[in-house]
Amino acid sequence: MRNHYFDHAATTPMHPEVAKAMLAVMQGPGGNSSSMHAFGRAAKHQLNRARDSISAALGCKPAELLFTSGGTESDNAALIGAARAQRKRGKTHIITSAGEHHAVLHTCEWLAKEEGFTVTVLPVDYTGQTFPALIQAAMTPETGLISIMHGNNEVGTLQPIEEIGQIAKASGAIFHVDAVQSLSWMDYRLNELPVDLMSFSAHKINGPQGVGALYVAAGTPVDAIQHGGSQERKRRAGTENIAGIVGFAAAVDICVNERENKQPFMDKLRKRWIELLREHVEVPMIINGSDQHYLPHIVNISFIGVDTETMLMNLDMEGIAAASGSACTSGALERSHVLRAMALPQEQIDSAVRFSFGLGNTLEELEDAAQKVGTIVRRIRNNY
């Protein structure tokens, strides 16, 4: 049986060159980058070289890049750190949207419940987009932090972060952007964007799991939430994961060099997948999300009348990996909070499946996979 991995939005396979770069570090003599001896200095050199490389690719200063364990920690560090810093200035109001990743939503809920912040969760439209006008209307003199993701991990919809950033800048609020899903596809020039904080994760761009970064624009007030050492300019205590960070840098470098060809190819895969499914699937299909502003590797499709969980189980048995939404929640039977936030009809929510493409996927394999999906849908419908 031929297997098809269509769940790159959850995690991506590691690029061979990334593994090679990491292996060179792991097979080396070792060394703590905080140590003063030659081994420590060698580790520090690798750390600095990786930081320089990633910051150059992102268009920011090396000192503005903070390494973390991944996207969730980056989101937590940004939100909790910025909220606490802004509270000292009398600003205790946070704005976010109902379509955010749970790493943002749950952190905002915690800040409201445990630390007394006021949180406004704005609605999204039927495509999953947040209107800047709603953010402008929600602003108060106490608004200190706005958090809006760039590319949605479930439906792929892109947000107008430049316009939102200008609103934040005009009011003196800190603007955080979760760019975990969009890094592979966007040419970020952070020094030109009205963004104060931006979260990244290596395993979404064919890098290692357990490594991420947080961009902190110079002058942005952010309190450290992890203590114990002076690493990362005293903003994130703990010995740095040198091998992982080196792998992250290699993945970013590949990302930059291949983006020009990779992006249109992923969009071609996405469009061809939709065409083939329309040929082979005998139930109504609805594409969820924006048809104009979207990430090229994600497509969320409702197979009307076919239960999501039943569909996913059958896809898995046929060797096709897909998802019902965020990998952080798809192990549970709860329906997508993003689709609910988009106020879609219940039958659309109950039948939605996310397919996401990346390294290793080909146009040729789509034909085989689409035929399998068609067979699965017929089998499920006939058993009802």
| pLDDT over 70 at 108, yes or no | yes
pLDDT tens, position by position, 278-312:
999 999 999 999 999 999 999 999 999 999 999 99
Strand partners, 353: 301
pLDDT at residue 335, rounded to an integer: 81
13, 126, 100, 68: which is closest to 329 by C-alpha? Answer: 100
124, 134, 78: which is closest to 336 by C-alpha? Answer: 124
pLDDT at residue 55, rounded to an integer: 98
Residue 96, SS3 per DSSP = strand
Structure token pair of residue 346: 């219940």
| pLDDT over 70 at 11, yes or no | yes
Residues with Cβ < 8 Å from 320, sequence gap 6 or more?
3, 4, 6, 369, 372, 373
pLDDT at residue 384, rounded to an integer: 59
What's the whole-number mean pLDDT along residues 218-232?
A: 94
pLDDT at residue 381, rounded to an integer: 86
251, 9, 252: which is closest to 154 by C-alpha? Answer: 9
Average pLDDT, whole number, for the chain? 95
For residues 335 and 352, what is the distance between their CA atoms, to the nearest angstrom?
9
CB 111 within 8 Å of CB 119? yes
| pLDDT over 70 at 139, yes or no | yes
Fold match, 4-12+260-383 / 16-254: no
What's the whole-number mean pLDDT along residues 240-254?
A: 97
- CATH class entry, domain 16-254: alpha beta
- CATH class entry, domain 4-12+260-383: alpha beta
Structure token pair of residue 348: 């659309």
Domain ranges of the chain: 4-12+260-383, 16-254
For residues 108 and 114, what is the distance between their CA atoms, to the nearest angstrom?
10
Residues with Cβ < 8 Å from 38, sequence gap 6 or more?
none
Helices of type H across 59-119:
71-87, 102-115
pLDDT at residue 383, rounded to an integer: 78
- For the chain, the straight-line distance linking the first and the last C-alpha, in angstroms and rounded, comes to 26
pLDDT at residue 327, rounded to an integer: 53
- Banded model confidence at residue 276, pLDDT cuts 50, 70, 90: very high
| pLDDT over 60 at 329, yes or no | no
What's the whole-number mean pLDDT along residues 120-137?
A: 98
| pLDDT over 60 at 1, yes or no | yes
60 flagged as catalytic: no
- By CB atoms closer than 10 A (0-12, 13-18, 19+), residue 332 is exposed
% the chain with pLDDT above 90: 92
E strand intervals along the chain: 4-5, 65-68, 93-97, 118-122, 143-147, 174-178, 197-201, 212-216, 285-288, 298-303, 320-321, 352-356
| pLDDT over 50 at 330, yes or no | no
pLDDT tens, position by position, 147-175:
999 999 999 999 999 999 999 999 999 99
